[in-house]
Amino acid sequence: MALLRMTTALQLVTWFMISYVLVSTQASSVYAGHSSTGKCRCLFTEPCWPSKDEFAALEATLSQPLLAPQQLATPCHTSWFLNEECELAQELWVDGWWRSNSSNSAGGTEQPTFAAYYAPDGHIEACFLNTTLGYPCLQGNIPPIGVDVRSVKDIQLAIDFAAAHNLRVVVKNTGHDYLGRSTARNAFLIWTHHLKSIQYHDTFKPSGAPNGTVYTDAITLGSGVQWQEAYDAVFARGRIIVGGIAPGASVGAAGGWVQGGGHSALAPQHGLGVDNVLEMTIVTSDGRYHVVNSYQEPDLFWALRGGGGGTWGVVVSVTYQTHPSSPILAAYMIASVNAPTVDAGTADIPTFRALFTELVRITPTLADAGWSGYVDILPSDDTGLPWLSLLYIAPASAPTARSTMQDFFAFAQHLADSARPEEGALYVDLASIDSLSGFAEWELTNFRGKSGEVGVNTELGSRLLPRDLLQSNHTAVADAVLGLGIPHIGFYIVAGGAVSTVDPDSVALNPAWRDALIHVVFSPLWEEGASLDTINAARDLVKKGEAAFRALTPGGGAYFNEASLYEENFQQTFWGSHYEKLRAVKKQYDPIDLFVVPEGVGSEDWDADLNCRL
């Protein structure tokens, strides 16, 4: 059996501390003496780190044993023979549900990128699934110990312990974070994954609200609930909820997703995730439990809706408004190219460029007709040439939805039929518009039980594209997207409509969301075991993309949950005019800065590792 099952958490931490010092003394020396300055967090392997007895005393007060998180590929390195847990890892490596719910998921990240540690001298500490690469399995960026919280009391005990010992703290539910904010090297983990309570309310009155303030059909989700579980609960009532869309529906429904804003294919119809929150509960760095809403501690409630996950405390629950279900239309199209005279991997193919440019041009028209959803540009596995996948939904009652989409399909087919050989052959497949009973049928058919988007080495860049830009200069947008030279590009209608009608100052989210129509995402990939030079080359592509879109959208913004670690001015990019107010709320509710995440509110006061104050 795997080592994790043979030892207690405290025994494993003791073993790991000895082996870690032997294997990684060079990296450990980076942290030596930090805690003695009075400006730095106390980290694992430092003399100030709590003793085994101190951890044992903490464990005695908790409802669960302490965690000893390990890398997801650890079982493949614990013995020379293939064991059951390793077989599961190999089989389900790109399955988001497994990565967040396996027996070892406390140490899992949805993207292996952020489980690895990239040392200043260029070496990488990780645990690769491919053991033939010959690298040792190291802890990397995974915290060595943590608390599996099951109650508010557990959270309070964990926070009090971390504050008393000045520990670096990370908060995690599923690890589904594209900037690695839910993990950190040598830190102390607060794992909310098992806060799985779900309560449906026929009527809901927020705490402290005046008499007569009642919402119907609301649902309260514990911060460990994932969208698969939340959707099932809501669909059973014949309702829908604005939620995240991903293969396997593994994203957390009441954690970082909503605190970062929460986009969705349903957002143009019903607003973003933050626009649908009625109440939240949270434990802050002083150990206090807060019930916050528009009537009770509204400043903290405002900050939690878009101010970024992992920054304000440990969220315990979120109460959302649900919506009636109604029939929808679902549009599907796949377009691929065959252009042997063109260098593989480029999108500079006349037929493909014409197709995408037309899509950009008509996007405002499609959005006005009720369409929302996802377009992805990916390289073909066989040729490396680009192909485009369109997956949109619209209310079946939208009068022009079907005709506007049919017009685009007709354009694509005409382009395919009339293309000259030197322009590249265009193939249009699966161009269809289906009538479905509702969002539930669409989500269950297209995403439930599916794999993908996770388990790969990647980093993201992104930008919000305002509607005015698409209307005034669609060619420049298409050129910028196709000129990225990045394998995966997403072009998502997750704004406009109801998103644009919300008061920009009602939540902490960047007001740029209210002018946006498209969320564009770009993500280079690299193979497991790649050198830091290769990884840095991929990161340079992200920086190139960011520069291109900043030039197109000066003063604009990006989505906090799907962005990059290289924003030149993250304060403006993620929050715009709201940042100074967020700073004030942060100082009020977390004066000791216990909760700090990359490019989060207040992170500019800390070094690059977020371990020492500047």
Helices 474-482, 350-368: crossing angle, 10 deg rounding: 130
What does the alpha-carbon distance between residue 191 and residue 148 come to, in Å, rounded to a whole number? Answer: 5
476 CB neighbour count, 10 Å cutoff: 15
What does the alpha-carbon distance between residue 145 and residue 159 come to, in Å, rounded to a whole number? Answer: 14
CB-based contacts of 365, cutoff 8 Å, min separation 6 = 404
Q: Are 316 and 152 contacting, i.e. CB atoms less than 8 angstroms apart? A: yes
What confidence tens digit (pLDDT) does each residue in 284-325 have?
999 999 999 999 999 999 999 999 999 999 999 999 999 999
Q: Angle CA(420)–CA(423)–CA(425) in degrees, nearest 5?
A: 75
What does the alpha-carbon distance between residue 499 and residue 517 come to, in Å, rounded to a whole number? Answer: 9
Could you tell me the pLDDT band of residue 339, with boundaries at 50, 70 and 90? low
What does the alpha-carbon distance between residue 185 and residue 139 come to, in Å, rounded to a whole number? Answer: 8
Could you tell me the pLDDT band of residue 555, with boundaries at 50, 70 and 90? very high
Q: Which residue has the higher pLDDT, 453 or 591?
A: 591
Residue ranges of the alpha helices (H) in 93-207?
96-101, 152-164
Q: Which residue has the higher pLDDT, 384 or 379?
A: 379
Q: Are 296 and 410 contacting, i.e. CB atoms less than 8 angstroms apart? A: no
What confidence tens digit (pLDDT) does each residue in 31-73 have?
333 444 569 999 998 999 999 999 999 999 999 999 999 999 9
Could you tell me the pLDDT band of residue 397, with boundaries at 50, 70 and 90? very high
What confidence tens digit (pLDDT) does each residue in 209-228 have?
999 999 999 999 999 999 99
What confidence tens digit (pLDDT) does each residue in 475-498 have?
999 999 999 988 899 999 999 999
What does the alpha-carbon distance between residue 453 and residue 246 come to, in Å, rounded to a whole number? Answer: 8
Residue 224: how many CA atoms within 13 Å on its side-chain side?
Answer: 18
User: Full-prediction pTM beyond 0.85?
Assistant: yes
Q: Are 437 and 395 contacting, i.e. CB atoms less than 8 angstroms apart? A: no
Two tokens, residue 35: 């805690």
Q: Which residue has the higher pLDDT, 480 or 6?
A: 480
Two tokens, residue 369: 């007709």
Could you tell me the pLDDT band of residue 1, with boundaries at 50, 70 and 90? very low
What are residue 169's DSSP bridge partners? 188
Helices 227-235, 439-446: crossing angle, 10 deg rounding: 140
Q: Angle CA(188)–CA(194)–CA(200) in degrees, nearest 5?
A: 135
Residue written as token pair 């499609």: 366
What does the alpha-carbon distance between residue 195 and residue 222 come to, in Å, rounded to a whole number? Answer: 5
Residue ranges of the alpha helices (H) in 287-377?
298-304, 350-368
DSSP 82: P
Using only the alpha carbons of the chain, give its radius of gyration: 24
Two tokens, residue 442: 């669409």
What does the alpha-carbon distance between residue 463 and residue 441 come to, in Å, rounded to a whole number? Answer: 30
What does the alpha-carbon distance between residue 573 and residue 78 come to, in Å, rounded to a whole number? Answer: 44
What confidence tens digit (pLDDT) does each residue in 255-284 have?
999 999 999 999 999 999 999 999 999 999
Q: What is the predicted pLDDT for the residue at 56?
A: 98
What domains lie within the chain, and their CATH numbers? 3-191 (no CATH), 329-436 (3.30.70.360)
The answer to whether residue 19 scores a pLDDT higher than 90 is: no
Integer distance in angstroms from the first to the last C-alpha of the chain? 45
| % of the chain at pLDDT higher than 70 | 92
Give the mean pLDDT of 344-358: 78
Residue written as token pair 């192909």: 387
Q: What is the predicted pLDDT for the residue at 337?
A: 86
Give the mean pLDDT of 171-192: 96
Q: Angle CA(238)–CA(242)–CA(245) in degrees, nearest 5?
A: 105
Q: How many residues does the chain have?
A: 614
Q: What is the predicted pLDDT for the residue at 381?
A: 78
Query: What SS3 class is residue 614?
Result: coil
Q: Are 253 and 243 contacting, i.e. CB atoms less than 8 angstroms apart? A: yes
What confidence tens digit (pLDDT) does each residue in 408-425 have?
999 999 999 987 766 678
Element (H, E) at 217: strand 215-222
What does the alpha-carbon distance between residue 584 and residue 467 come to, in Å, rounded to a whole number? Answer: 32
208-226 as b/e, with b when 16 or more CB fall inside 10 Å? ebeeeeebebbbbbbbbbb
Work out whether the CA dihedral 306, 307, 310, 313 comes out positive or negative: negative
Q: What is the predicted pLDDT for the residue at 36?
A: 40
340-to-118, 351, 429, 489 alpha-carbon distances in Å: 38, 13, 20, 22
Q: Are 427 and 335 contacting, i.e. CB atoms less than 8 angstroms apart? A: yes
What confidence tens digit (pLDDT) does each residue in 116-171 have?
999 888 889 999 999 999 999 999 999 999 999 999 999 999 999 999 999 999 99
Q: What is the predicted pLDDT for the residue at 341?
A: 52
